[in-house]
Structure 1
Amino acid sequence: MLNKFSFHPFGVDLVKLVETTIRSESRRFPNRPIYIMGESMGACLALAVAARSTPDINLVLVLANPAYILNLFYEATSFGKSQLQALVLVLKALPDQLCVSFPYLMSIMTGVPSRMMKATVEKGLPFQQTAIDLSEDVAAWLSYMSGLADVFTVATILWKLKMVDSACEYSNSHIRNVSAQTLVLLSGKDQLFPNLVEGQRLCQILPKCQMRVFNDCGHAMFLDEDIDLVAVIKEAGFYHRAELLPPSPLAIRKCVDSLRWTDVAASPVLLSTLETGKIVRGLDGIPAEGPVLFVGHHNILGFEMIPMLRHFIIERNINVRTLAHPIALNMFKQVNVPELARYNFLRIMGAVPVTASNMYQLFSMKSHVLLYPGGVREGLRRKGEEYKLFWPKQPEFIRLAATFGAKIVPFGAVGEDDFTQLVFDYDDQMKIPFLKAYIDMLTNQSINLRTDADAEFANQDMHVPGLLAKVPGRYYFLFGKPIETQGMKHELRKRDKAEEAYSQVKCEVEKCLAYLLKRREEDPYRNIITRLMYQATHGGLDSHVPTFHID
């Protein structure tokens, strides 16, 4: 029973307190996961609790810059690489009167003052106001540090480090008992601990562990206003039973800002169709109120989604929720990231696995939903299959849309062939034995959403197509006239009527594709070189680039 804490009763009390709270919450909400968030020294406490947890409790650990594998008093461990080791030796030799500098030193080492000043300067206020704010920030910091110095005696600091040391030792010796799903968040500029190496070691030990590295953060990670903990947890797939929660405004803003380069590379042209049938540039033809279901053709690897979803936010402030294959939501396991929005766009923007229940829930929330009936078969097309639809025969989404009276917006996206050339496809790879074995393994590990072997679309073998980059062209989108299903719930229950509506949607998508393929030939700015030349003489990269004439 936690014998390693025997000389530190306070450590035992902390573990028991957390355990009691967890068991109480588990009894109250037996079907909900319980999240334990531990930062720095608190991570050792979280691991100690998890090591003692019973299998009937669904625990999820989130550990930020964990220090639990550091033994603060033994050279043989990774603490030998930490700057705190030298501080411990100095503290033992210092009298209480000189220990008042310890909180100041720790604060500087964790980068708090520098990040505080950086945040003030980045507000872009006038120089005089910036100087006033900086002086107020420094005064507040000094006042806070002075209060800490009054209570941080040498004996207090050493006692606390000794208690943490025993917790670290216990966690180390029982770490293999931890079966909880664990997300490790690490700072790339941590001046206190060598946590990158230790985080990798932890992910090798724990069976269900993922790691995220934020390259620009210091030890005090959550003092960085760019870190949205909820968005991080959701992106990693650790937010159980909460996938349908919309992303936070901060996460959306970061996605939009960090992907501005797509406007330079793709210069997307978005066209929509008004109720009158007139095609206009922009998204004025898109219904503002949901539920709305966008149904379209899946370009290779889904390249079209980033500029499309981004401009829905910019132009209409509409967050489109994508129904995606589960493998697309779990592509990144160990990731080094300067910014969250750059490494799993779909998760952050609120994508969910493509299931009937998820579609039902999103419609009930009056969401704008994106669906690709062609799925993996379209997203991983073969040579010569550009802009060809591979839709199932069954009208999978029509009846569900009619249940909620959702408007169905067919659309086409053209441009994948202006950016990449498919040179090594599925058929080529299946001729090579070791690649065939790899594809079979990857496919067997994936969720097979469709099993109709007689249908052309049923081949959903997972593979990575070989692509050759081209001089960037341009992306074009056309959203057709919305198709009403309001009041047609009972009518579309009939098989023939549902199939008729399904054929109408498919036909409209094909018409959108045909329109764009023809009209893009008339665009004088289809090539990136001509676009850059235009922007150089018309206000820079943020200038609006025209396209073909719209009737």
Structure 2
Amino acid sequence: MPFTMPLLSSNRISFCFPHPLNFNSDLWIGKRDRIAVSREVSTNLTASVASSPPPDSVRGDSVAGGARDVKKLESEGLELLYDDGYTSSSEIDYTDLVRSDGAPPRWFCPVECGRPIKGSPLLLFLPGIGGLGMGLILHHKALGKVFEVRCMHIPVYDRTPFEGMVKIVEATVRLEHAMCPDKPIYLVGDSFGGCVALAVAAHNPNIDLILILSNPATSFGRSQLQPFLPILEALPDLSFIMGDPAKMAMASVESGLPPLEALDQLPRILSSMLPHLFDFADIMPKDTLLWKLKLLRSAASYANSRLHAVKAEVLVLASGKDNILPSRDEAQRLRNSLRNCRVRYFKDYGHTLLLEDGIRLLTIIKGASMYRRSRRLDYVSDYLPPSMTEYTEIFRLKYRLFFQATSPVMLSTLNDGKIVSGLAGVPNEGPVLLVGYHTLMAFELSPLIDAFLREKNVMVRGVAHPLFFTEKFETSLQEFTVFDEIKVFGAVPVSASYIFRLFSSKSFVLLYPGGVREAFHRKGEEYKLFWPEQPEFVRMAARFGATIVPFGVVGEDDIAELVIDYNDQMSIPITRDLIKQTNKGFKRLRTNMNGEVANQDLYIPGILPKIPGRFYFLFGKPFETKGRMGNLRDRENANEVYLQIKSEVESILSYLKKKREEDPYRGILQRIVYQATRGSTDEVPTFEP
């Protein structure tokens, strides 16, 4: 039975051991200075095993980096734009290997992970062939907020065969499943660890497992490491190889290249291989390295022979510049071989994907809709708010040029009808329903969400088309796209049940009654509403006393021109067949309705960019439904309110189209001059409301 107990509480690591407890020799771990756990310390700690803390307990007295109060974290969940701790750790913090102590592989819980939010699932990290177990070091703090993290450490001189390694992990998985049968268990396998994860999943098809495989070593038979085995067996020792890693890197340079091109490849290959070489630092004995490479070969063979039995959800993270394994091709093979496998491809990263800058494992898991706390994913209860890192990298960096080019203007209406700058007219507390016009290709979404995050510290939960949640169009080399981003930032599939639950949780809900028909409109249809006849949202909003805020946005015609629309494409046989085939697999919406609103076909319009003008948002006077449930239960009354809100949105669009003509800074050149003279951070003014 594996015990979870703090064994070494430096400022970094807490160790926990599986049975049998084995404290036969000193253990070194830590930063530059080695910290020893002696036999005496081990003896004293053995007595505390019986009272070891439960899985959700704290694994240390404090969280490095100044985390928020753990009680608040556990009871209320994560705060919006919380500090996820990325970039506050470094691989350099753990340069010393754990010396052989005679103990078997064991689990440890990094103290810096802290206490996760209540109900968090277990995450077991299975390391690469080096076995140190520090492959998640850059992710400890972020993952530790929403997972109970345990990492496996495999001592350098350990000789546990692959089947034995699988049994150790399997025993932990079965025990945890017995204690919490309704929670999923995450297995994050790095390279060799990916083989272990697949083997465990194949043996336990009835346990709810979610596998995250980073460049899994199932491709070892086709890797550049395979030819090393006969060479190493012939060498008297490894000092030649370990003393000159550049020669090992040269073996990976493509043959036949001109000298200058080969020299250009060498630094990149060497930087990819060095982390693995240092996993065997201090000149590892030849027999140890041979053992590990043979273990890797047997692991790949064992896992590949059992892929057919894997029923778990699998997410493969594949690097495009992996110079150790053919991970790109392996991702495609695994996606075709496994029943429930998806891929996220990172074309500019190497083999040590999880240790490279720019990779955010938790963000990837969230974007792939693979974070859940129970047997089924719930987009409301399982939702994790975006962290400050996610907000900064996606909104402040990725969309920075778009925001600068379009300089969105935010206006809102107070209860007395006065139009003011900013979002002061929008309520500060939910439930709130934002109902408005959907611009071409949803250009307005990122400025809208950004404005509510910055000004009101509110996450607007968009109700999105099922397209964004289907795997139908994912490829075997699927990159992290806008489809993942909208899920990180709160989108839920359109359904009455999800809107119901969002209102129940007092959320800010974003709804576009015009849906796909409005966002993929035809030529000459800009700023035209395609709303259904039925009052779809009024009565549900009234049931929860939600405040309805109508809004409009103009500017799409100032940044792009629609040149090839749906009608154009349907007149061409090839594109018509493509559109029909594309939409065949989608869940159809509003199939019981007539007219244009029922025409929800998805297509990719042909657009030409323009020298950008400006986006203008206006949020109308809030419409209170609190206390009107009885009145609005009547369909006629609800329909009257519905038409009133629709008319308000149309009036807002007309107002903005007229008033933007008075904006002296509508053109980008005028805005550039203003910012150059006043400061690039100054907000550019607009017309007088």
TM-score normalised by the shorter chain: which range applies? 0.7 to 0.9
Opposite residue 45 of structure 1, the aligned amino acid is: V
State the alpha-carbon separation in 1 of the partners of residues 291 and 269 from structure 2.
21
- 1:275 equivalent among 411, 415, 427: 415
Amino acid across the alignment from 2:497: S
The yes-or-no answer on 1:547 pairing with 2:679 is no
Question: Partner of 1:199: helix, strand, or coil?
Answer: helix
Alpha carbons 1:41, 1:164 under 8 Å: kept: yes
Separation (CA, whole Å) in 1 of partners of 2:426 and 2:626? 16
Of 385, 394, 403, 1:247 maps to 385
Tell me which residue corresponds to 2:587: 447
Task: State whether residues 440 and 521 of structure 2, in contact with CA within 8 Å, keep that contact through their aligned partners in structure 1.
Answer: yes
Name the CA distance, whole Å, in 2 between partners of 1:405 and 1:88: 74
Structure with the largest fraction of helix: 1
Q: Which amino acid aligns with 1:42?
A: G
Q: 1:53 to 1:386 in 2, by over 3 A?
A: same
Aligned 1:113-124 pairs, distance under 5 A: none
Task: Show the counterpart of 2:544.
Answer: 404
Offset at residue 362 of structure 1 (A): 1.8
Deviations 1:63-93 (A, max 9, x none): 112122213xxxxxx22x35x7548834762
CA contact (8 A) 1:231 1:247 kept: no
Aligned equivalent of 2:23: none
Contact 1:252–1:348 under 8 Å retained in 2: no
SS at match of 1:451: coil
| Aligned match for 1:89, one of 231, 244, 249 | 231
Match of 2:169 among 18, 37, 61: 18
Q: Choose from 179, 194, 212 the match for 1:62.
A: 212
Check whether the contact 1:410–1:505 (CA below 8 A) recurs between aligned residues.
yes
Q: Give the partner amino acid of 1:301.
A: M
Cα deviation digits, residues 123-153 of structure 1 (max 9, x gap): xxxxxxxxxxxxxxxxxxxxxx79x756943
**RMSD over aligned Cα atoms:** 3.2
* Residue aligning to 1:211: 343
Partners of 2:196 and 2:299 within 8 A in 1: yes
Query: Structure 1: how far apart are the matches of 2:238 and 2:274?
Result: 27
* Residue 655 (structure 2) pairs with residue 523 (structure 1): no
Matches within 5 A, 1:182-197: 182-197=314-329
Q: CA deviation digits over 1:276-304, x for unaligned, max 9?
A: 22111112222222221111111122111
Residue type of the alignment partner of 1:373: P
Q: Distance in 2 between matches of 1:52 and 1:254?
A: 40
Report the Cα distance in structure 2 between the residues aligned to 1:284 and 1:113, rounded to whole angstroms: 55
Query: Of 332, 339, 351, which aligns to 1:200?
Result: 332
The aligned runs of 1:355-504 (5 Å cut-off) are: 355-504=495-644
Task: Tell me the residue number matched to 2:192.
Answer: 41
* 8 Å contact from structure 1 (residues 322, 352) kept in 2: yes
Could you tell me which of 447, 452, 455 is aligned with 1:315?
A: 455
Residues 229 and 290 in structure 2, CA contact (< 8 A), matched pair in contact too: no
- What are the residue-to-residue correspondences of 1:76-115 with 2, within 5 Å? 78-79=222-223, 81-82=224-225, 85-86=227-228, 89-90=231-232, 93-95=235-237
Secondary structure, aligned partner of 1:68: helix
CA distance in 1, matches of 2:244, 2:502: 52
User: Following the alignment from structure 1 to structure 2, what is the Cα–Cα distance between the partners of residues 92 and 501?
Assistant: 84
1:39 touches 1:66 (CA, 8 Å); kept in 2? yes
In structure 2, distance between residues paired with 1:267 and 1:91: 65
Hey, what's the Cα distance between the residues in 1 that align with 2:475 and 2:209? 19
- The code of the aligned residue for 1:254 comes to E
The equivalent of 1:75 in structure 2 is: none
Residue 416 and residue 90 in structure 1: after superposition, are their counterparts in 2 closer, same or farther (change >3 A)?
A: same
Indicate the SS of the match to 1:422: strand
Question: CA-to-partner distance for each residue in 1:208-246, whole Å, 9 max, x for gaps?
Answer: 432223345443333346433222112123335142213
Contact 2:191 2:217 in 1 (8 A): yes
The CA distance in 2 between the partners of 1:467 and 1:150, in whole Å, is 59
Q: CA-to-partner distance for each residue in 1:437-463, whole Å, 9 max, x for gaps? A: 222222220011211242431111222
Does structure 2 conserve the Cα–Cα contact (< 8 Å) formed by 1:360 and 1:400?
Answer: yes
Question: Paired residue for 2:363, among 189, 213, 231?
Answer: 231
Q: Give the gaps of 5 or more residues in structure 1.
A: 1-7, 72-77, 116-144
Deviation at 1:186, TM superposition (A): 2.4
Q: Larger deviation: 286-295 or 310-319?
A: 310-319
> Greater relative contact order (Cα 8 A, min sep 6): structure 1 or 2?
1
Q: Is the 8 A contact 2:272 2:322 kept in 1?
A: no
Q: 2:678 — aligned with what?
A: 538
Given that residues 101 and 149 in structure 1 are in contact (C-alpha distance below 8 angstroms), is that contact kept between their aligned partners in structure 2? no
TM-score calculated relative to the size of structure 2 = 0.66
Paired residue secondary structure (1:184): strand
User: Against the structure 1 CA distance between its residues 150 and 491, is the aligned structure 2 distance closer, same or farther, given a 3 Å change threshold?
Assistant: same
Greater shift after overlay, 58-67 or 518-527? 58-67
Q: Separation in 2 of the partners of 1:312 and 1:159?
A: 56
Give the superposition deviation at 1:100.
7.8
Q: Is the alpha carbon distance of 1:227 and 1:346 closer, same or farther for their aligned partners in structure 2, counting shifts above 3 Å?
A: same
The answer to whether the Cα contact below 8 Å between 1:390 and 1:457 also exists between their aligned partners in 2 is yes
Change (3 A) 1:342 1:378: closer
CA distance in 1, matches of 2:543, 2:230: 67
2:461–2:489 Cα contact (<8 Å) kept: yes
Task: Give the TM-score of the pair, scaled to structure 1.
Answer: 0.81
Which residue does 1:5 correspond to in 2?
none
Q: Distance in 2 between matches of 1:51 and 1:427?
A: 50
CA separation of 1:19 and 1:491: change in aligned 2, threshold 3 A: farther
Measure, in 2, the Cα distance between the counterparts of 1:335 and 1:515.
Answer: 46
Q: Write out aligned runs for 1:275-354 (5 A).
A: 275-330=415-470, 333=475, 344-354=484-494
Separation of aligned partners in 2, 1:219 and 1:155: 24
Please tell me whether the aligned partners of residues 412 and 618 of structure 2 are also in contact (alpha carbons under 8 angstroms). yes
Partner SS for 1:318: coil
Match of 1:513 in 2: 653
Amino acid at match of 1:89: I
Aligned to 2:629, the other structure's residue is in SS state coil
CA distance in 2, matches of 1:51, 1:103: 37
Name stretches of at least 5 consecutive residues in structure 2 with no aligned partner: 1-158, 250-267
Q: CA deviation at 1:172?
A: 2.5
Separation in structure 2 between the aligned mates of residue 492 and residue 101 of structure 1, nearest angstrom: 80
Q: CA deviation at 1:194?
A: 3.4
Please list the CA deviations of residues 422-445 of structure 1 after superposition, one character each: whole Å capped at 9, or x if unmatched. Answer: 222222222222322222222220
Counterpart CA distance in 1 for 2:636 and 2:179 is 49
Q: Which amino acid aligns with 2:194?
A: A
8 Å CA contact 2:195–2:217 kept in 1: the answer is yes
Cα distance in 2, alignment partners of residues 538 and 344 from structure 1: 37
Q: Which one-letter code corresponds to 1:167 in the other structure?
A: A
Deviation at 1:308, TM superposition (A): 1.6
